[in-house]
Structure 1
Amino acid sequence: MSANAGAAPSNKGRERTRRRFARRQWARRWLTWRYVLAIVVLVAAVASVVWLVFFSAVLSVRSVTVTGADILSEREVKRAAAVPEGEQLAVLDISAMRARVEALVAVKSADVARHWPDGVEISIVERQVVAVVDLGGRWRGMDADGVVFRDYERPPGGVPRVQVLATADRDALREAAQVISSLPADLSDRVDHVEVETVDKIALVLRDERRVEWGSAEESDEKASVLTALLQARQAKVYDVSVPGQPVTSDIAR
């Protein structure tokens, strides 16, 4: 009885040891397979995302919207952008589309953005007319950079007119645009038109036919202040503020 009683506990101990060993073995195997399973799931997830973004029709271009267009039509902007409908959003050449839109002369700047899941938005800032120029019998709108970018059948009210003399070139137009843009509102309202000969021979003709020799766009703020004071202090036919520190007035019209 004593020998059998001693053997039974010993057998039970070996059985528990065996079971613990089996559990540890299973735990190690499960840990290994768990990592393998996690890698498989991760690879599958990445493959699904790649397929969804780059190959499926779910995230492809279905709509194109345009904001900021006034002078231009939405159709003109879309045609310039040439957004390939049906193309995956992720592979669109946004920079190329923006460059094509900014090539439109009426566009000062543009931005093209993806709108997930299936849209493209084109935002533009158009040039603003600061003056109209008579070029070859056509009235053209000009912005503050001297860029001529739109046509008018007749000069719009409230916008200075620019008369280009024979020797004026693109640089002279740009200089005239800077002069006009620098004028304070109360002075700009008094200007009938601007005469441009060269970059440093620009003149303002006021609505009452008085003439202002302005010179170039340099020191325009100071010139405007000097001219405003002169107009209040003295009646003359010609005001020369091309050198604002030494203004000259004359009663002899040019």
Structure 2
Amino acid sequence: MPEWRRRSSVDDSEATRRRFTRRQWARRWRLGRLLAALVALLMVVAVGVWLVAYSSVLGVKRVDVQGNDFVTDAEVRSLVQIDDGEPLARVDIAAVASRIEELPAVKSVDVSRKWPNALLVQVRERDVVAVIQVGQRYRGMDETGTMFRSFARLPKGVPVIRATGELSAEVRAEGASVVGALPAKVARRVEYVELRTVDQIDLVLRDGRSVVWGSAEESATKGKVLEVLLGEEGTTLDVSVPGNPTVK
């Protein structure tokens, strides 16, 4: 083989080797950069998880309470039961809400995270639709019959529930549901609700007239019918069958 061909072959082999070496180093460099980037990403994620879930940097430093009137902020906060600085992300929201809902005056509650360092508790309290005398005090109840607050004196404009028989939870709930279904105009004119049984409920108006109500069924319809009958003459208004009311 001519000398010039041998030299060309050697030069080609050397060039090929160099190109191969450069490609190898390039691949190793790219792989190294990729591994470095992956390690950096994992470190950022790890630090982020630690900050959010385990450190006090994003921990609870205050509890904000909204929507409460009768229930005090202190009562609500006492039932949150979390340590100061506890990571906000790890607070058991459902458990906190469940404890606060045990307060008799609380109808519902919504608990949420208020980043970076607060817990927001939004309270919805029960409304007093009627009162019932227990001993020397009056107990306020909502439309479900749940008794949740006391009054030393009879509050103005709130119907009173009186029971002539046993005041079971069922009877109390029936009476409260009747009052809760009354139109505002009618409720203001009710002196008290008399409960005999769940099927024998009467209303006594402030003007002395009586209303035969019957059971709590169709109370919304009965309330509308009674609103019309209030303008009629007579001492006894019967809406126990709202489709066929009578006045005597």
Q: Do both proteins adopt the same fold according to a TM-score greater than 0.5, normalized to the shorter chain? A: yes
Structure 1 pair 75–238 and aligned structure 2 pair: CA distance change class (3 A): same
AA paired with 2:108? S
Aligned equivalents of 1:231 and 1:25: distance in 2? 98
Aligned equivalents of 2:143 and 2:105: distance in 1? 12
Aligned equivalents of 1:93 and 1:18: distance in 2? 64
Partner in structure 2 of residue 238 of structure 1: 236
Partner in structure 2 of residue 52 of structure 1: 51
Deviation string, structure 1 residues 162-214 (Cα, Å, up to 9, x no partner): 22223221111111111111111221222112112221111111111100011
CA RMSD of aligned residues (A): 2.2
- Unaligned stretches of 5+ residues in structure 1: none
Determine whether 1:157 maps to 2:156: yes
Shift of 1:106: 0.5
Partner in structure 1 of residue 186 of structure 2: 187
Partner in structure 1 of residue 199 of structure 2: 200
Retained in 1: the 8 A contact 2:189–2:205?
yes
- The 5 Å alignment of 1:22-101 reads 22-101=21-100
Aligned equivalents of 2:28 and 2:87: distance in 1? 43
Aligned equivalents of 2:147 and 2:121: distance in 1? 23
AA paired with 1:140? R
Determine whether 1:135 maps to 2:146: no
Tell me the secondary structure at the aligned position of residue 154 of structure 2. Answer: coil
Tell me the secondary structure at the aligned position of residue 128 of structure 1. Answer: coil
Tell me the secondary structure at the aligned position of residue 143 of structure 2. Answer: coil
Retained in 2: the 8 A contact 1:134–1:164?
no
Retained in 2: the 8 A contact 1:144–1:174?
yes
Partner in structure 1 of residue 224 of structure 2: 225
Aligned equivalents of 2:71 and 2:93: distance in 1? 20
Identity of aligned residues (%): 46
TM-score when scaled to structure 1?
0.88
Aligned equivalents of 2:143 and 2:224: distance in 1? 20
Deviation string, structure 1 residues 142-179 (Cα, Å, up to 9, x no partner): 11111110111212222212222232211111111111
Shift of 1:104: 0.6
Shift of 1:243: 2.1
TM-score when scaled to structure 2?
0.90
Aligned equivalents of 1:173 and 1:124: distance in 2? 25
Deviation string, structure 1 residues 62-86 (Cα, Å, up to 9, x no partner): 1111111100110000002223212
**Number of corresponding residues:** 247
Aligned equivalents of 1:208 and 1:94: distance in 2? 51
Tell me the secondary structure at the aligned position of residue 204 of structure 1. Answer: strand
Partner in structure 2 of residue 247 of structure 1: 245
Structure 1 pair 132–63 and aligned structure 2 pair: CA distance change class (3 A): same
Partner in structure 1 of residue 115 of structure 2: 116
AA paired with 1:78? R
Tell me the secondary structure at the aligned position of residue 209 of structure 1. Answer: coil
Shift of 1:9: 6.9
Deviation string, structure 1 residues 213-245 (Cα, Å, up to 9, x no partner): 111111123323333343333x22222221223
Aligned equivalents of 2:141 and 2:167: distance in 1? 15
Aligned equivalents of 2:82 and 2:102: distance in 1? 15
Deviation string, structure 1 residues 10-30 (Cα, Å, up to 9, x no partner): 776555444322221111111
Shift of 1:118: 1.5
Retained in 1: the 8 A contact 2:51–2:58?
yes
